[in-house]
Amino acid sequence: MATYCPEDLASRELSCPICFEDYDIQDVKRTPKLLLCLHTFCYDCAKKLWRNDGSIECSLCRMLHEEVRVDDLLDNYVIIQHLRSLIKLFCDSAGESLRSGILSWLGGLISTCGT
């Protein structure tokens, strides 16, 4: 059985496969939400997938999740923890010039470090 390790996360897995925006733990709309099929989308895109009958169809595997509320979807804690680790790593060790260089890639999260 395959395992899912945070160290294996590629940059493409740190962004929503629908809107291609980076996940952002500071912005509710960009929080990674986990469907029961184990695919992850940002909160905003998951909300757009939600139907009036209370179901969500995964746009990757087409699995239909019935009687689901977007607000009840779990956060993808593997991705969230990985983003927190990146923030801590860069806040602890990066100089100001390096921080500004990676700021756009991390979607503004490094700005929480303080100067």
CB 15 within 8 A of CB 100: no
The angle subtended at Cα 99 by Cα 97 and Cα 102, nearest 5°, is: 110
CATH number at residue 51: 3.30.40.10
- Look up the domain containing 80 and give its range: 11-108
Provide the number of structural domains found in the chain: 1
The answer to whether position 71 is within a domain reads: yes
Question: In the chain, which stretches have pLDDT less than 50?
Answer: 1-2, 6, 110, 115
Please give the model's pTM, rounded to 2 decimal places: 0.70
The answer to whether position 86 is within a domain reads: yes
The answer to whether position 82 is within a domain reads: yes
Q: Summarize pLDDT for 26-52 with one digit per residue, the tens.
A: 889 999 999 999 999 999 999 999 999
The answer to whether position 74 is within a domain reads: yes
Tokens of 102: 């990676």
The answer to whether position 73 is within a domain reads: yes
Tokens of 103: 């700021």
CA atoms lying within 13 Å on the CB side of residue 79: 25
Percent of the chain exceeding pLDDT 70 equals 69
